Structure 1
Amino acid sequence: MRSQDHDRIYLSPPHLGRHELNYLHKAIEDNWVAPAGPNLAGFERDICEFTGAEHCVALTSGTAAIHLGLKLLGVGPGDEVLCPSFTFVATANPILYLGARPVFIDSEAETWNLCPERLREAIEDRMRLGRRPKALIIVHLYGMPCKLREILAVAAEFDIPVLEDAAEALGSRYDGQPLGTFGAVGVFSFNGNKILTTSAGGALVTRNAAWDTKVRFWATQSKDPAPYYQHSEIGYNYRLSNLLAGIGRGQMELLEDRVKRRREIYGWYQQHLAEIPALSLGPTEPAGGRSNRWLTCVLLAPTQTIVAPEPLRLHLETRNIESRPLWKPLHLQPLFADAPMYGGAVCTNLFDQGLCLPSGTAMTESDLRRVADALKEITSAEQT
């Protein structure tokens, strides 16, 4: 059988068990299929128990959670929000929703996340220009904790509130504390490719009880307490359905095992790709950080190979293996062409040199060997 005739290996497909059906069947039997019900409340409790967060609101997406989180922090028209450039566009789009402007910051080369030194540079420069940043978004890219100690110290020094985008980082920790619980607001995503999925969904967590109440109000069309439909401020249709929350409840029962398996997959790649000098795995865990290793990523060393990420991706496709380029930095996106940027060399180099490998928790030893063999094929062919 030719390699390309094998079943497709996806980058990070959903991995469901039987647990989810218990909650789904119960919701259907009880006719709880709206964006309210026992699964929704239970899922929010599950997230609080797992992360240690005091309050959680389950929403339709991580993007919705960022949007409402920035509203909680008072972001509005004309404000500036500090944001890493090396992230998915969903991190920054809600800044635009609110009429604000992103100010992008480069990565550091260890964790690939926001650089604390560039952060200080950006804040001091914006303040010299009379443009005090309204908020800071930090991201834990590919499940890797950013350098929280240094970043939070800078934010505290300048009294800038932090929204923590942990969309890819459920199950990751820093100094033993779950990610998503360090900022004034934390955000998770449960999209189909995440380590825990509800098909589509997200959550906002906070220590502030009044904020919890406000987010629930906004997320249900800002309905005033009246016997008729009355609305005094803009609202959104952002609440997660009770059915999808049931999937999340079942997934929560498996989360620790999913994290363990992702870390095992990273370790397997680390061991079996070590003989390819042109490849290196990343990013690297910071001191005190423990990543869920949502996606295993590789960098191609341009001094040791003429193979670039796109030819490598296309070669994997010939073997029916899905891979993905690293995030294209947002300061290079046409949408944000006019946004200020501090630095740029680190995240641009990462984009130019990197690729995400299949990392799904249902991958078998045979699947992993197919990926490794395909990587070795192209690097071996280059040397002949």
Structure 2
Amino acid sequence: MPANKNNRIYLSPPHMGGNEQEYVRQAFESNFIAPLGPMVNGFEHDFSKLTGFAHCAALSSGTAALHIALRLLGVETGDVVIASSLTFIGSVSPITFLGAEPVFIDCDYKSWNMDPDLLAEAVDHYISQGRKPKAVIPTDLYGQCADYDRILEILEPHGIPMVVDAAESVGATYKGRHAGKGALMAAYSFNGNKIITTSGGGLLASDDEDMISRARWLSQQAKEPKPYYEHEEIGYNYRMSNLVAAVGRGQVEVIPERVKRKREIFDYYEQELGSIAGVSFMPEADYGQCNRWLTVMLIDAEEFGASPDEIRIALENENIESRPVWQPMHKQPIFKNNTVFGGKVSEDLFKRGLCLPSGTAMSAEELDRIIELIKRCGR
């Protein structure tokens, strides 16, 4: 039977693995409903095992994880923090929470991630001004790791820490290491549309035990170890709840299956559409394996016969969700006065890019329907 047009096809909806309800049941039976509890501890342990990081703090969001990471590094008013321009604002807004100045680096066409050559230029520029950057935050875009080793080659001689925004790259690898591994700290997101989800939530990981211990403390309002509530510093209400962590434990178990399916979906889109004039897809860098969180297509409107937005509208008219590539941070009105190194590559990807439905529970029939609709948009 033909697919029902009324059944909306979402960009990347949650996909439960089967054991989430059992973990949630255990949480209910133990009466650990409020934040903290054995599921939080278990989820942190599971994620340490997955990533290879020695220590993890489960938090309320990936944005919270980056906020605490920058707080741990002593970022404050007037500091420079360098970040990817082609990213979601949650990668960058924590810089502003602490009064620091975000400086943006364009991406390269090889990986769509932070361009190391432009990063080197930016680091030299600010050091020559006596304003050594307090941190660098490369984003792993659409599930592809940034070139960590090349970035570290630039940063380590100056003692500048790297905090990876791995919100989109759970399950991806860089030179055989899990996404984020190799950074001083890495932040992950489990928002509803990520490759695995806890409905909301995030996590901060590091091999530095003291940092993660302090992150946990800050995430629980920075309460001093006394029988009453005493505070010498300002903290946050950023801890993950036991119920949310229970969902996460079930999701971690199916990460290999989710990555496999995401990559199959990407390969099928590329197989069916990649030979059409004016159509290309996000490349995979030679140093790792992308989790293909979202399949991203590039359209040359003149060659193909339709623009990315015309395709998006045509899909939406058939109750199918798609989305433009992230608008670069240096083009956001709120950051119009911030410095950017480069900018043309991310602007081009934003102009030509379209994120296609990539849900791992999507049927073959739904996938074929999307592909056929895209083909019809062309000449």
Instruction: Give the TM-score taking structure 1 as reference length.
Output: 0.96
Q: Contact conserved, 1:7 with 1:320, CA < 8 A, in 2?
A: yes
Matching of residue 358 in structure 1 with residue 354 in structure 2: no
Matching of residue 230 in structure 1 with residue 205 in structure 2: no
Q: Which runs of 5+ in 2 are unaligned?
A: none
- Cross-structure match for 1:180: 180
Higher mean displacement: 300-309 or 131-140? 300-309
- Cross-structure match for 2:90: 90
Q: How far apart are 1:270 and its partner, in Å?
A: 1.2
Q: Contact conserved, 2:104 with 2:340, CA < 8 A, in 1?
A: yes
- Cross-structure match for 2:33: 33
Q: Contact conserved, 1:312 with 1:378, CA < 8 A, in 2?
A: yes
> What code does the residue aligned with 1:70 have?
L
- Cross-structure match for 1:375: 374
CA distance in 1, matches of 2:103, 2:86: 12
User: Which runs of structure 2 are paired with 1:1-384 in the superposition (5 Å)?
Assistant: 5-282=5-282, 284-379=283-378, 383=379
Residues 251, 275 of structure 1: alpha-carbon distance in 2 compared, 3 angstrom cutoff: same
> What code does the residue aligned with 2:100 have?
A
Q: Deviations over 1:315-365 (max 9, x none)?
A: 111111100000000011111111111110000000000000000100111
Q: Contact conserved, 2:3 with 2:366, CA < 8 A, in 1?
A: no
Q: How far apart are 1:16 and its partner, in Å?
A: 1.0
Q: How far apart are 1:275 and its partner, in Å?
A: 3.5
CA distance in 2, matches of 1:268, 1:157: 43
Runs of 4 or more consecutive aligned structure 1 residues displaced over 3 Å after TM superposition: 1-4
Secondary structure of the 1:7 match is: coil
> What code does the residue aligned with 1:87 have?
T
> What code does the residue aligned with 1:336 have?
F
Q: Deviations over 1:163-216 (max 9, x none)?
A: 011000000001110012121011100000001100000000001111111001
Q: Deviations over 1:274-310 (max 9, x none)?
A: 342221111x222221011100000012451342211
Q: How far apart are 1:124 and its partner, in Å?
A: 1.2
> What code does the residue aligned with 1:170 have?
V
CA distance in 2, matches of 1:112, 1:215: 30
Q: How far apart are 1:246 and its partner, in Å?
A: 0.2
> What code does the residue aligned with 1:105 have?
I
CA distance in 2, matches of 1:156, 1:235: 30
CA distance in 2, matches of 1:359, 1:246: 25
CA distance in 1, matches of 2:157, 2:242: 41
CA distance in 1, matches of 2:7, 2:53: 40
Instruction: Give the TM-score taking structure 2 as reference length.
Output: 0.98
Q: How far apart are 1:3 and its partner, in Å?
A: 7.2
RMSD over aligned Cα, in angstroms?
1.3
- Aligned residue pairs total 379
> What code does the residue aligned with 2:47 have?
I
